Structure 1
Amino acid sequence: MRLAEIFERVVGADAPIRFRAYDGSTAGDPDSEVALVVRTPAALNYLAQSPGALGLTRAYVAGHIDVEGDMYTALRAMADLVLSERIALSPGEMLRIARSIGWVKFVNRLPPPPQEVRRSLLSGLGTRHSRSRDAEAIHHHYDVSNAFYELVLGESMTYTCAVYPTPDAALEQAQFHKYELVSRKLGLTAGMRLLDVGCGWGGMVMHAAREHGVRALGVTLSKEQAEWAQKRIAQEGLGDLAEVRHMDYRDVPDGHYDAISSIGLTEHVGKKNVPAYFASLYAKLTPGGRLLNHCITRPRNDLPPFTRGGVINRYVFPDGELEGPGWLQSAMNDAGFEIRHQENLREHYARTLRDWSANLDRNWDAAVREVGAGTARVWRLYMAGCVLGFERNVVQLHQILGVKLDGTDARMPLRPDFEPPLP
């Protein structure tokens, strides 16, 4: 049985993508702008070992399967096939396919690509979200290569959701607008002390110092991020106000800060640790201080957790966990914060990811030279898949603003005045 025939049996003869295999067979829509290409028999080994998304991911990252054309368009077409429940084979059909391809394809086991995090490595570092294990998880994702991130993220070096002030705003405008929105929600003014936990390459720290005269400290578990940020701070002449340290947020002294921004860190904390996380940030604030928590969320509070052995956990965010916005807001409230504002920026993250994906495609050859084809493929697949996730409300992005009351005084305006002026 030729592979194109198997493809048609699985997804139907009218599949909206082209299919081509190493045995010369073809199927699908010949006029489609995207194609799925099975390049070697090793792809079948991966699919036999791990049917579904994990097997496909392993085969793609290892170069045994290719996608020609736009990755997002291809994933959207294939996601439609899955969601329509057209992919369904009986055990008898699976047996016939296995016999026709050859049993060796299903017996020979291949190791996962090196880009897949080794579960044994993480488990050897202790329980989930211990300090040593958190440090390794952050190292896996963020210490890929600063030069690679420059190619993908652009000038702002900001790896969190942007906020697009207008439909035609560019990525850099949107990242500036996001930082300014956070600054206004926190009520930043000259002379205030800001703590930015999980600060990445220091974008929020530098914005607060440059635009608002704030004394800002950022902390990150990534040594490479901290070194890059300190160099950029020096280049911009902000060393008297801004600083980024390679440091665990749990080691920052309490009671010193007028405002705290947490932009993209809560996802790494773990549900069981979230109450203690917010309590820790509450303790670090002075009375009247504000916390802005910006993180990826689930659309509901009662959804089961993502599979810990799934693609995202294996290739992108080891030990990452997402919660519903209501649950997070309650956890902030229980830690002592008065909740003053929240908003969902789901559509903005889909746009941000589209812009990052365009940067990667435009700089593809340079990215491959920097980190290798396998890692570049991980990012191409991951970001396109996340666009779909945000578009289809599988995941959301929430900003939740809380204040540590000064007695009963929230020190808040009568009406929100957060939105920055249009560029």
Structure 2
Amino acid sequence: MSMTEQESGRTDPEPTPPRRTGAPTVATIIRAVTRGELPVRISAYDGSDVGPADAAIGLHIRTERGLSYLLTAPGDLGLARAYVSGDLEVRGVHPGDPYEALRALGTGVRFKAPAMGEALSLVRGLGWERLRPPPPPPQEALPRWRRVVSGLRHSRARDSSAIEHHYDVSNSFYEKVLGPSMTYTCAVFRDPSDSLEQAQANKYELVAGKLALKPGMRLLDVGCGWGGMVRHAAREYGVKALGVTLSRAQAEWAQAAIEREGLADLAEVRHMDYRDAPRDSFDAVSSIGLTEHIGVRNYPAYFGALYDRLRPGGRLLNHCITRADNRMPNNPGAFIDRYVFPDGELAGPGRVISEMHDAGFEVHHEENLRQHYALTLAGWCRNLVANWDACVADAGIGRARVWGLYMAGSRLAFERNEIQLHQVLGTRNGPQGESGYPLRPEWTP
């Protein structure tokens, strides 16, 4: 696949000084730290290359700064820095969907530690300055230990800052990537051929069915995004729905959509922390994609807050990304933490269910939608590719690259069962254990 300079998102790199006499080539360095055959062709600014000449995917390290990014932050962070800055070019894929490149790298590149003498020789030849980390791209958030300037982790101020980093990019950008539904959570596919819009409508129908929504009921949707669930519940079920979000841009867009659709008598979205949501007795609470942002140590307070806002017999549907098991670390990789979801944390599905139980909920149903999220992310990447130039104009080339890398990488992680998406349904029971839950579910699985 050949692309023009504008289509590839290439930016002018920093000037590369002449290679010092006797310095190892980039190809020599790559051979020293990998074993076996490479699945991709890797070339560099110094004219060296390694890997199959006929490989469908190619990586081109355009500058010494790009090499320094890769050497000083091995793994996903260094790769992201070089790619986002334009110092690493991926050939054979569109920057809006580098899925095939990530799949090839993830399945075919095997790393090794060079012998001590070889490593020292390489470093001396390169020059010690190559091991001094260059300043990161402007799209990168501060490391966790430096974010304390905006408050302790998951304080109100710091949560607001983290949400702003991810969601207040540009409503116009999200419209192009997410499509007309403006829904940034896992869709539900009856068939892989379903359109993204149909699959998102399926998801809202599934949530409404699990909550047994009926005309006249009151719904609280926490972390409501652009108000998709709120509008669906009001429009399709005659429910009086309130959504709350920490993103001001989301709240403004959602409220305008509510008024545009003539739903203002039933639906409302407020710019508000879920902890400040009205303490009314709601018939149902939906949380679709909020749990990932609140911090695992805050689960008791989070589920307690949702429990307190439900009437006896009311239902909670919690929809969130999880780890594949309960033993994996809660913190995401460095790329996700610095570029996508600052302070985001994931727990295993067992932890989510246990915390719901401990907060007082009776859990009745759990469902894993892992494969559905892989399909959803593939749809978002297709939208990003189709609207690449407009997305770059809205959010900038660096941010557009971040989103393509993040969505393609997440798709791969869901496909490989490295992360999952779980919906858990629970009730707040009455004093005698009455839940209002029927002998068999009312909704269509």
TM-score in terms of structure 2 length? 0.90
Alignment of 1:353-372 (within 5 A): 353-372=377-396
Identity %: 59
2: CA distance between counterparts of 1:387 and 1:29? Answer: 26
Matched, 1:403 2:430: no
* Aligned counterpart, 1:279: 304
1: CA distance between counterparts of 2:36 and 2:284? Answer: 58
1: CA distance between counterparts of 2:49 and 2:36? Answer: 11
Q: Is the 8 A contact 1:122 1:136 kept in 2?
A: no
Alignment of 1:12-31 (within 5 A): 12=35, 14-31=37-54
Deviations 1:168-217 (A, max 9, x none): 11111110000000000000011100000000000000010111111100
1: CA distance between counterparts of 2:229 and 2:350? Answer: 26
Alignment of 1:18-417 (within 5 A): 18-70=41-93, 71-82=98-109, 85-107=110-132, 109-119=133-143, 122-306=147-331, 310-406=334-430, 407-417=432-442
2: CA distance between counterparts of 1:393 and 1:282? Answer: 31
2: CA distance between counterparts of 1:356 and 1:224? Answer: 20
Letter paired with 2:314: G
| Larger deviation, residues 244-253 vs 4-13 | 4-13
Q: How many residues align?
A: 416
CA distance 1:57–1:92, change in 2 (3 Å): farther
2: CA distance between counterparts of 1:355 and 1:32? Answer: 26
Letter paired with 2:151: G
1: CA distance between counterparts of 2:388 and 2:377? Answer: 16
How much has 1:18 moved relative to structure 2? 1.7
- SS across alignment from 1:124: helix
Letter paired with 1:174: A
- SS across alignment from 2:99: helix
2: CA distance between counterparts of 1:320 and 1:380? Answer: 19
Deviations 1:333-372 (A, max 9, x none): 1111111100101111111111111111111111111111
Q: Is the 8 A contact 1:11 1:81 kept in 2?
A: no
1: CA distance between counterparts of 2:131 and 2:151? Answer: 34
After the TM superposition, which parts of structure 1 deviate over 6 Å for at least 4 consecutive aligned residues?
A: none
2: CA distance between counterparts of 1:89 and 1:306? Answer: 29
Deviations 1:214-237 (A, max 9, x none): 110000000000000011111111
CA distance 1:13–1:408, change in 2 (3 Å): closer
Deviations 1:100-134 (A, max 9, x none): 33443234x42111111124762112211011111
* Aligned counterpart, 2:18: none
| Larger deviation, residues 96-105 vs 338-347 | 96-105
| Larger deviation, residues 49-58 vs 263-272 | 49-58
1: CA distance between counterparts of 2:350 and 2:344? Answer: 19
How much has 1:50 moved relative to structure 2? 1.6
Identify unmatched segments of 5+ residues in structure 1: none
Letter paired with 2:99: Y
* Aligned counterpart, 2:11: none
TM-score in terms of structure 1 length? 0.94
Q: Is the 8 A contact 2:45 2:61 kept in 1?
A: yes
Identify unmatched segments of 5+ residues in structure 2: 1-23
Deviations 1:20-47 (A, max 9, x none): 2112222212222221111111112212
- SS across alignment from 2:429: coil
Q: Is the 8 A contact 2:241 2:266 kept in 1?
A: yes
- SS across alignment from 1:354: helix
How much has 1:12 moved relative to structure 2? 4.3
CA distance 1:79–1:271, change in 2 (3 Å): same
2: CA distance between counterparts of 1:69 and 1:241? Answer: 49
